Amino acid sequence: MDRLPPERLHRTEDIRAVFRGRRVVRGRYVDVHVRDVDTAGRPRMTVVAGRKVGHAVARNRAKRRLRAAARETGLPPGRDAVLVAKPGASDIAYSHLIREVSAVTDTNAGIRGERSA
């Protein structure tokens, strides 16, 4: 399946719908919540980082790095995803972060594999 760089997911109601879907894969530095959408267009994604990640500078750094890692690894079309940064996401080596994002998106066939019925 082709992987595409995701577009940004902006609307609060869309982000809440992803969280309500309750499909999540947990990693050490990032959790990925995902929802199938009806369109087969470019995937949409947003990144959130709570105060547990650290002060504002650490949260913003974690979000920038996760966005870049998601663009590099790509997501399948027709999916909305929310990446939730966890403590340490701003401090680990970027190559480890890319492997983490790739691993959590590969773990569940519902995220990067074929769409479930």
Q: What is the pLDDT of residues 20-39, one digit of tens each?
A: 987 899 999 999 999 888 77
Q: What is the pLDDT of residues 96-113, one digit of tens each?
A: 999 999 888 775 544 554
Residue 95 lies in a domain: yes
Residue 91 lies in a domain: yes
The pLDDT of residue 51: 96
How many helices and strands, by DSSP H and E, does the chain display? 4, 5
Residue 92 lies in a domain: yes
Provide the pLDDT confidence category of residue 1 given band limits of 50, 70 and 90: low
Q: What is the pLDDT of residues 69-98, one digit of tens each?
A: 998 988 878 888 999 999 999 999 999 999
pTM of the model as a whole: 0.84
Q: How many domains does the chain have?
A: 1
Determine phi and psi for 85, rounding to 5 degrees: -70, 145
Residue 30 lies in a domain: yes
> Where would I find the beta strands (DSSP E) of the chain?
7-8, 23-26, 30-36, 44-49, 79-85
CA distance 16 to 64: 21
CATH number of 100's domain = 3.30.230.10
Residue 2 lies in a domain: no
Residue 1 lies in a domain: no
Provide the β-strand partners of residue 49.
85
Domain of residue 58 covers 7-112
Residue 101 lies in a domain: yes
Across the chain, mean pLDDT equals 86
Residue 117 lies in a domain: no
